[in-house]
Amino acid sequence: MFKTGLIAGISGAQIEGDGYGGYKKLGFIAGGFVGVDLSEKLSTQFEIYFITKGSFDAAHPDKGDYDQFSVHLNYIEIPIILHYKYKKIKFEAGLYLAKLVGTPKLSDEFGPVFVNQFPFKSFDFGGLLGASYQLNELFSFSLRSKNSILPIRDFQNFDQNVGILNKLFNRGWYNVDFNLTARYHFGNKKT
């Protein structure tokens, strides 16, 4: 039996490799899902949603820090997930493919930064781990961590070797985000 529903939530994002740490870029998620039970304990789910990602580091003039940095990226993301059910909790692992939509916006303390020489890639591919809690027949909540496997942008130069993936592979920038979503399940109410 197929199960469908709506997804809405928030994300905290950062870009590994840009030199700024912390999930400081607040974004939102909106979309839908369809899933099917494979057994009593295992299920699979296909999702499609709009998500904002990027990076943010604010200036702190009171501390002598005048640097500011912001990256704003919009994606249509399609995860495919395998769930393992334990009571009301589902542990999840999966892969996602995301298509960059619109123009990436990059800025620093001096204003917009143009990315013609080292553009962002059109697609993002990565993995995810998380857990969801079934509150009742109609609502569940999900907490999820996602990380790009392939870089979303090449380095501007070869000495930008920041982050564990870049220390191992020296490839570029990677999306990393942490999501909290609420899910509404159609047709699950017991009659």
Q: Give me the CATH number covering residue 181.
A: 2.40.160.20
- Would you say residue 191 lies in a domain? no
Query: From first to last of its 191 residues, what are the pLDDT tens digits of the chain?
Result: 789 999 999 999 999 888 787 888 999 999 999 999 999 999 999 999 999 999 998 887 888 777 888 899 999 999 999 999 999 999 999 999 999 999 888 888 777 777 666 789 999 999 999 999 999 989 999 999 999 999 998 876 544 455 555 556 557 889 999 999 999 999 755 54
- Would you say residue 190 lies in a domain? no
- Would you say residue 168 lies in a domain? yes
Domain coverage including residue 111: 2-185
Tell me the whole-structure pTM to 2 decimals: 0.86
- Would you say residue 23 lies in a domain? yes
Count Cβ neighbours within 10 Å for each residue of 130-158 and write b for 16 or more, e otherwise. bebebeeeeebebebebbbeebbbbbeee
pLDDT computed for residue 29 by the predictor: 98
Domain count, the chain: 1
- Nearest Cα to 23, choosing from 32, 12, 34? 12
pLDDT computed for residue 158 by the predictor: 46
